[in-house]
Structure 1
Amino acid sequence: MSFLALSEIKKSFGPVQVVHNFNMAIEKGEFVSFLGPSGCGKTTILRMIAGFETPSGGTIRINGVDQTTLKPNQRNIGMVFQAYALFPNMTVYENVAFGLKVAGMARADIDRRVKEMLALIHLEHLAERYPYQMSGGQQQRVALARALAVKPQVLLLDEPLSALDAKIRVSLREEIRLIQQQLGITTVFVTHDQEEALSISDRIVVMNAGRADQIGTPSDIYNRPATRFVASFVGTLNLIEATVEDPQANRIRIGEHAIQIRDSLAQSRGGDKVAVALRPEAASLQATARTDTALPGEVVASSFLGSVVRTRLNVGGNTISFDMFNDPGLTPLAAGEKVTLHFAARDLLVIRD
């Protein structure tokens, strides 16, 4: 039996349905990220798990116990908010101790637990500081310690890193994942940042207009997107318009070039238009033992992105991007240059909606 089970969850605000018949089973100790654009329903699902919103239909169970109509304080859940939500008139120690005091824990046990939590987030030396005396990253770590102090069954994280600068976000997300694995706590993380979701999740739920377009491991989501939306939202992806030439042989045509792909075209007919996807890192200007396909193209533009240089080509009327590692000794390709793009046909993925 799954530890956190969401069955046929629906939510409407007036005439607008924002979550449609959502189902998911989350295992104990699993780290699941809900990923999607603003308004897709991911935060609404999180709030229903927490008890801040009541589902219009469906059930929520934790460890087999129905939680659907319980109030937030009746659920053993820890939550970390985007805006930290620390008590400004309390010290770090008092913030972390708050939930334990409400639960009626003995003073000696509170002291032991708070010190344990502050050691976990490496802030023992700041126990007597107030939130305004701390950086945003430190405040968010205190909020995490406060949520974990009460030993919740489930930890909910509502875009907890979005207010931090890039370098702190990376280090803190790694710290959150390390703590989560150390404690073995079931965690649901909401974000619109695909890199965050890909880097720390056991599974990802890609939300689109109140529905889960795809649920899978980070590798599945990135390498085998199930829909055009997932393909375009997760990572940078080339969507190439092609024509089915021979569905039995899985052969398509891009411009004037016929290519045999790995994906089945059995449900298509000759002449059908299909969209195929290719990741920028799967293409190169150099032929290798791995590549088996070469298409002529013309450089449209090059963009310097730090560690990589992304170049856009016009290939058979399609704009295709490919990435090269930055090399200070190389001159970026100029617009109008004629080049040949190499890739493996098996890396082309047919996108079906």
Structure 2
Amino acid sequence: MRARVIYNPTAGRESLKRQMIDILGVLEAGGYEASAFATTPKPHSAKEEAVRAAKAGFDVIIAAGGDGTINEVVSGLSPLRKRPKLGIIPAGTTNDFARALNIPRNDLVKAAEVITHNEAIGIDVGQCNDQYFINIAAGGYLTDLTYEVPGKLKTAFGYLAYLVKGAEKLPQVKPIMMRIEYDKGVFEGLASMFFIALTNSVGGFEQIVPDANLTDGKFSLIVIKTANLFELMQIANQMLIGGKHLDNPNVLYVKTRYIKASAIDGSKLMINLDGEYGGDAPAVFRNQQQRLKIFANLKDYPQVTANDDRLKQVEEQFRQGMSELNGE
């Protein structure tokens, strides 16, 4: 069995680069002939290597890095007829997809060990026009946070950088006249944003889609039907206390296999795919049910779900960021 690790050498404050020998050692001990490829600044470097490695006959492709690296590898493998199994070693800011699969997010070597357990499940992949995503697609205001926050801030402050940028942009949110078609209906009206989720973890929080299913062939569609600052804050608060936002009258929530999103008042509606800019609407989304086989931690693994624990984690990231900026 051959495994190819495609890793971002700058991810996790370069921790992946420093621990790659240990990661390859774990894979070798688990029965794999393992090798590694470091991505380059060249556009689609990880995607192109995933395609090359798959066609070269590798049995397992391992995406090591943040959600962007994972998206590129998924985008390379998903269109292929013969698709190797996929492994994940998370080293990004939020690691949403790894969180959903119970893969250790604070220990890269333990994440590699998950692959050697040989427990793989078929997971859904989203297709947007001719692109792919594995965690979330979104459109409208605030959905551009992931590529507006500078990389240096994300490295230094982690998830806190998104919170600060979101708070800065919240008063600027305006409604957009949208038309969103889905399996059993159409939403047409003013909305500030929409989310199309495959997992339960979005932006580090696990209650945005509390009943997400990785294998059922359906998206979880959420449309925020308001741009009022008070109402948005109310929805955000309900989101943090157990997913109660799904009962809010300003939220449309449905399960669907197909979605077509467009702006109908001449507004620009940007699409975000797994944290990266995915072009502008109109966009058609289709769920490719169980398109990839992926290694997951099927045993219980401690996850940060309580709000108090989440705040402690953010505070620790803030302290680490300040230390790094101060040269400590």
TM over 0.5: no
Which structure's residues are more often helix, by fraction? 2
TM-score, length-normalised on structure 1?
A: 0.29
Q: Choose between structure 1 and 2 for higher RCO, CA contacts under 8 A separated by at least 6 residues.
A: 2
